[in-house]
Amino acid sequence: MKHLFAILSILLAAINPLSATDLRVEENGTSGAYTTINAALAAANAGDRIYVYPKYGGAAYVENLILTLTNIQLINATEGQRFKVDGTITLNAGCQLIGAELTNIDSTVSHIIDGGGSNSNVRIINCKVIAGNVIASATGAKTWIDNDSIMNGFISFYNGRISGCYVKGSSPFGCIQLLSGAPTSNDTALVVGNKVEHYMYVDNSWAVWLNSSSVFTYASNNYIHSYNPFYVNSGIGLNFYGAKYSPSSSAGNSIINNTVCKTGTVTSFNNNFQVILTTSTCIAFYNNISISIGQPSLMGFFFNGIDGVNFEYNYDINSATPFVKGNSAGTFSSTNISNSNSSIDINTGSLNGGSDAINGGHPSALYLDLDLTRNDAGCYGGSYSLANFMVSETGARVLFMKAPRTVFATFPITISGEGVDK
């Protein structure tokens, strides 16, 4: 059956407790299975696994689920499918939700909620939410959200990771929201390898909102497509509005290898990338692409209120003012290209042949592509290429890996990762 596994120093180590009991949910109660998920939850103990079989014909379990016990795993029991729930699922500390689909059969909005509180370490994997949201409800929640699809909704979190997700919605506060209020720590919130489609139906909205001054922010290899044919000031693609202080751009906040694409006929689309901070910090800002198809964006990249921004090897296509440095201090080098000839596949965000951003990113070995050639600017460049994440939503797969970018002879290395398997 499907479960979460971890890879540490090349060794496989199951993170499921050895004493866990497996419970089954099946609509007809075959061989002693529970017929409702709530019945299985009532019989479970902390640390148990509950395997849920999809109902015949794609029907939903119509129930609201509150996992009050810790470390419960609620897992789809059939490879390549999801079990459907018409209701809201609230997860306690250490709980895992794998392979669920939340529907709105009764026209009700269904959410997945991390309600576990401080450092809850909730994991939400291979799930799909239709007309609902994934929400961390407590400022202390540390939520890991991988390989999920959110349709007509958003993801909001305070700390943890969002990776490999497809998020489509129209919230004026963004399809992905990193919120302020987390306990201060040296943690890094990760927003990596996501595809965002944001319909900006009101003025002055944004697709991705990054606003945390208590944990560091690392956003890379995201494809953000914003569109709205009606409004004049239709918003911002990636808005970096709050950041934890870092004395060095090499040891704190990073915005690397993202692609923001605006399409539409509005007369003044606001900035594709915008960084406006009220507290000073340093940011590494490398290998990003701003592209407007239709009317030009007002600004491709805009910076204000930053001590030090290292702004290098970024590309702009069709902005009225590509690179705007307000009262920011930092390096705006000649490596940035304001009249780029690059173009992309609007559906995937990948660069078309002949684009000058191909092999045009930062030349350091830290940013090499997967084939060890020089970095391609945009969301498919570097070792966190979007190609790693945009794969099948269900079934066995590696979710996220960490490895050193450079290796020195005689020194040990550590490689860690997580995935779902049968």
SS (H, E, C) 278-343: CCCCEEEEECCEEEEEECCEEEEEEEECCCEEEEECCEEECEEEEEEECCCCEEECCCCECCCCCC
Residue 10 has pLDDT above 50, yes or no: no
Identity of the amino acid at 340: S
Residue 261 scores a pLDDT above 80: yes
Q: What pLDDT was estimated at residue 229?
A: 54
CA gap 256, 288 in Å, rounded: 6
In the chain, % of residues over pLDDT 90: 64
Range of the domain at 46: 3-421
pLDDT tens per residue across span 273-284: 999 887 788 899
DSSP H/E element including 38: helix 37-43
Say how many domains are in the chain: 1
30: tokens are: 């075959």
Q: Look up residue 47 and give its two tokens.
A: 């640390």
The C-alpha atoms of residue 52 and residue 42 are separated, in whole angstroms, by 15
pTM of the model: 0.92
Give the lowest-confidence range in 145-149, 188-192, 342-346, 407-411.
Answer: 407-411
pLDDT, mean over the chain: 88
Angstrom distance (rounded) from CA 303 to CA 175? 22
The helix or strand, by DSSP H or E, that contains position 40, with its residue range, turns out to be: helix 37-43
State the CB neighbour count (10 A cutoff) for residue 386: 26
Tens-digit pLDDT profile for residues 209-244: 999 999 999 999 999 998 875 555 567 899 999 999
Tens of pLDDT, residue by residue over 94-152, are 999 999 999 987 667 799 999 998 889 999 999 999 989 999 999 999 999 999 999 99
The residue among 246 and 361 whose pLDDT is bigger is: 361
Q: Which amino acid is at 255?
A: I
